[in-house]
Amino acid sequence: MILGGDEFGLTQRGNNNAYCQDNEISWYDWSFPEKNRDLFRFVKEMIAFRLRHHGFMRPEFYTGRDGNYNAIPDISWFDELGNSPDWDKMETCLALRMDGSRADILADQDDNDFFIMFNGGEKRIPFVVCEALEGKTWVRAVDTSLPSPEDITLPGEERPLSSPDTYLVQGHSMVILISKYV
């Protein structure tokens, strides 16, 4: 969730309830969009990314079941080793695959499938990437550890993985892969 000002680095100094503050805590510093232009650009591109992909605008909750008989659930969860996570012993890494088929997202056409990896730890971790379906290949669309403007790619400029089976996710970052015919 993005609140007004988050897109250019307004922090409210950690105050998440600043509506009653009529001082510099809640005032917008309109120089921030220029000072934090890389963050502002990234947020704008992520909003555009979401709007381009119906898979991120699902009308229904995920069930973890295969809704269209394509052999994968609408959402699947993985640890960094590619196994089903042990929810009782979660560490700092988590991955998920989202099915983008039109039956699961109630759209008039298929979207891409997505593989999203989160590394909340300090160290870089190699994630096992599940196999893409139907002869498609995973390509990198977003890697928050990369410098601007490489952190998010424009449509059609997504980067193929150097290794199709693993991706090295830097600490405190997120990576979004998209399945495509390459």
In a domain, 55, yes or no: no
Domain that holds residue 10: 6-35
- Looking at residue 150, the DSSP 8-state letter turns out to be T
Per the structure, how many domains does the chain have?
A: 2
**CA distances for 118 relative to 2, 89, 103, 147, angstroms:** 18, 16, 27, 17
Query: Could you tell me if 76 and 12 lie in one domain?
Result: no
Query: Could you tell me if 86 and 24 lie in one domain?
Result: no
| pTM listed for this prediction | 0.85
Which tens digits make up the pLDDT trace of 25-76? 777 777 888 888 999 899 999 999 999 888 888 777 888 887 666 678 889 9
Burial class (CB in 10 A: 0-12, 13-18, 19+), 53: buried
Query: Could you tell me if 83 and 147 lie in one domain?
Result: yes
Confidence category of residue 106, pLDDT binned at 50, 70, 90: low
Distance CA 111, CA 66 (A): 16
The region of weakest confidence among 50-59, 100-109, 162-171 is 100-109
Query: Could you tell me if 23 and 80 lie in one domain?
Result: no
Query: Could you tell me if 70 and 28 lie in one domain?
Result: no
Query: Could you tell me if 138 and 66 lie in one domain?
Result: yes
